[in-house]
Amino acid sequence: MKINWFKSASPATFYPLAGRMIPWFSTAAALLCAVGLYVSFFLAPTDATQGEAYRIIFIHVPAAWMSMFIYLVMAFWAGIGLAFNTRLSSMMAQALAPTGAMFTFVALWTGALWGKPTWGTWWVWDARLTSELILLFLYLGYLALTAAIDDTRRADKAGAILALVGAVNVPIIYFSVQWWNTLHQGASVSLTRAPSMARIMLIGMLLMGLAAWMYSIAAALSRVRLIILEREKNTAWVREVLEREA
């Protein structure tokens, strides 16, 4: 079971393992992205109402999916680290955060660029986009808090509490924002009301989503290796790694 595996996996054994996995995930990401882009641009037809502008969803939707998925995974690993005192779990959580924040930003940026030609404004206060914005604040809060605490154990644990509180609050926040949106606008402007999905469009989004997922794993593994090196720098095995790589 994954949890037991992490309980017994020490940073020392995980470091080379992650190193071997990264090329596989990077390649998978690149391939999936290439196929996804091909489908998005050359196979998916032009949309009747939105014209070519709709092709932005092939980035916007996968980015939004990843931003939420990564937050949950981050909160999960942080929680494991808090509950079982496993160092690697907490490191994994910290490794995931920047990538998650990046995808959130991409989702917001592409949302704005999609909104302008479609609805006429650079920002649309619909439920999904507003929730994405709040998610970005949650990510930034986590990054800020863990950066502000020098003691790594305290940083890990405090970050875990914050991530878990955030994760629990995400449905509450989403529900509140949905309510707020319908109360004020009558939901006529909504990015969730995407063009009725031709199946090929859905396939394009799924491919790009998978590509984003593979990329995230590769990025997080790379980053966790760096965090491991930083934290374990005084151990013998790190010395050996340095001498080997010199």
Residues in touch with another protein (CB under 8 A): 41-46, 51-53, 55-56, 59-60, 63, 98-99, 102, 105-106, 109-110, 113-114, 116-117, 134, 137-138, 140-141, 144-145, 148-149, 154, 157-158, 161-162, 165-166, 169, 172-173, 175-177, 179-180, 183, 215, 219, 222-223, 226, 229-230, 233, 238-239, 242-243, 245-246
Cα dihedral 86→221→162→173 (10° resolution): -140
Q: Residue 234: how many CA atoms within 13 Å on its side-chain side? A: 1
226: exposed, middle or buried (Cβ count in 10 Å: 0-12, 13-18, 19+): exposed
Cα–Cα distance, 244 to 246 (Å, whole number): 6
Contacts by residues 131-135 (CB-CB < 8 Å, ≥ 24 positions apart)? 131/170, 131/173, 131/174, 131/177, 132/64, 132/67, 132/104, 132/107, 132/108, 133/108, 134/173, 134/177, 135/67, 135/68, 135/71, 135/104, 135/170
Cβ-based nearer residue to another protein, 192 or 230: 230
What's the min distance (Å) between Cβ of 45 and another protein? 7
What's the min distance (Å) between Cβ of 59 and another protein? 5
Cβ-based nearer residue to another protein, 73 or 101: 101
Cα–Cα distance, 168 to 223 (Å, whole number): 26
- CB neighbours of 228 closer than 8 A, spacing ≥ 6? 11, 14, 15, 88, 91
Cβ-based nearer residue to another protein, 1 or 104: 104
What's the min distance (Å) between Cβ of 230 and another protein? 6
Cβ-based nearer residue to another protein, 1 or 92: 92
Cβ-based nearer residue to another protein, 193 or 233: 233
Residue with tokens 């509490």: 161
Cβ-based nearer residue to another protein, 5 or 168: 168
What's the min distance (Å) between Cβ of 1 and another protein? 26
Q: Which two tokens stand for residue 22?
A: 């990264």
What's the min distance (Å) between Cβ of 222 and another protein? 5
What's the min distance (Å) between Cβ of 70 and another protein? 13
What's the min distance (Å) between Cβ of 168 and another protein? 9
Cβ-based nearer residue to another protein, 76 or 146: 146
